[in-house]
Amino acid sequence: MKTNKIFITGMTVLLLASCGTHKTVVKQKDVKVEQGNATLPSTKSSTNQKLIFVQRVADQALYQKNLVSNLSFTLNDGHKDITVPGILHMRKDEVIRLQLLIPIIRSEVGRMEFTKDYVLFIDRIHKQYVKANYNEVAFLRDNGINFYSLQSLFWNQLFIPGQQRVNESSLSAFDVDLATLANSSNSTTAVTLKDGKMTYRWMAQTLSGLISEAQAQYVSPSHGVSTLTWKYGNFQPFGSKKFPARHELTIETDATKQKKTFKATFEMDGFSDASDWETITTPSDKYTKVSVEEILRKLTNM
């Protein structure tokens, strides 16, 4: 069934997206950040220019705690696009929930849920579910899945792996391409964060500070290169800020026996800050609990 296939494949895409953000520790200095306006005076030191721009990017984060939206979820299996409707529920620091629906009747076929403490996948077609602590499953633990990094990607924000949020004292951990920033003809400027084998890069609009693309790349001598690219578009007003209605996710990895590329697109239809929904999903007693490894074995054979 196409809808079930897109759910299973979608689980892989989001798992790999999370695995692209390894838990790392970034050494930081306590820096007093000077608030800047839309211009960057040439008299400022290069350090202050970087801090001002990173602050501008960080300031684009939404104030809302909740985001709810209908969406169209598309996966490319390497041959063609498969699209199903869905619903996205997000509550900051608590949950990211993606529900996939059967077209027309809009009955839920599957649910993917990420919380601070566990991941949950429900397959309503086969009445199965996976619920596991981030650290108790080798696949997740060894690849350093991190809820807060994944949350930042969904919320179109900067992040520092292993930290709950970016604050003023951590802005100095980021680097900025000052040559690009100084050239007014460049529409975007790169903000980067490096640690060991991981390189993170955000392309932010030079004037507004809105993030148009995020990328995480992991280079391993034994497993090759894995790259996660998360593009944002169609920014729409949401409260006093703007939020991208289009998210395009691409994962390229050499970690498997042959190079694989996964692509997924979220097209959102309107935003709401509704809070009248439960954050906890409890699987029915009629559902069978299975392991993540079992799900991955199914994916490998698809």
> Over the Cα atoms of the chain, what is R_g?
20
Assess contact for 108 and 99: CB atoms under 8 A.
yes
Find out whether 238 and 271 touch, Cβ atoms under 8 Å. yes
Average pLDDT rounded to a whole number, residues 291-297: 66
Contact call for residues 66 and 90 (beta carbons, < 8 A): yes
Q: Which residues contact 27 (CB under 8 A, 6 or more apart)?
A: 173
Domain holding 38: CATH number? 2.50.20.10
Range of the domain at 127: 2-300
> Which amino acid, 291?
S
Phi, psi dihedral angles at 167 (to 5 degrees): -115, 180
What is the per-residue pLDDT across 217-239, written as a single tens digit (0 to 9) for each?
A: 877 776 677 888 999 999 999 99
User: Is a pLDDT exceeding 70 seen at residue 31?
Assistant: no
The CA-atom distances, in angstroms, between 128 and each of 9, 78, 139 are 15, 26, 19
As for how many domains the chain has, the answer is: 1
State the residue for tokens 């690849």: 143
Model confidence band, residue 5 (pLDDT cutoffs 50, 70, 90): low
Q: Identify whether the C-beta of residue 231 lies closer than 8 Å to the C-beta of residue 248.
A: yes
Indicate the pLDDT class of residue 245, thresholds 50, 70 and 90.
Answer: very high
- pTM score: 0.82
Which residue do the tokens 């403490």 mark?
117
Whether 243 contacts 236, CB under 8 Å = yes
Average pLDDT value over all residues in the chain = 81
Q: Where are the beta strands (DSSP E) in 117-259?
A: 118-123, 128-133, 175-176, 188-195, 198-205, 211-220, 224-238, 241-253
- Fill in the DSSP letter of residue 126: T
Beta pairing, strands 260-272 & 241-253: antiparallel
**What tokens appear for 129 in the block?**
């579910």
**What letter does residue 275 receive in the DSSP assignment?**
-
Q: For residue range 156-200, what is the model confidence (pLDDT) as tens digits?
A: 999 988 788 898 889 999 999 998 888 767 799 999 998 777 889
> Taking a C-beta distance cutoff of 8 angstroms, is the pair 144, 175 a contact?
no
CA distance 74 to 98: 13
Question: What tens digit of pLDDT does each residue of 98-124 get?
Answer: 998 988 777 888 899 999 988 898 988
Position 240 scores a pLDDT of 95
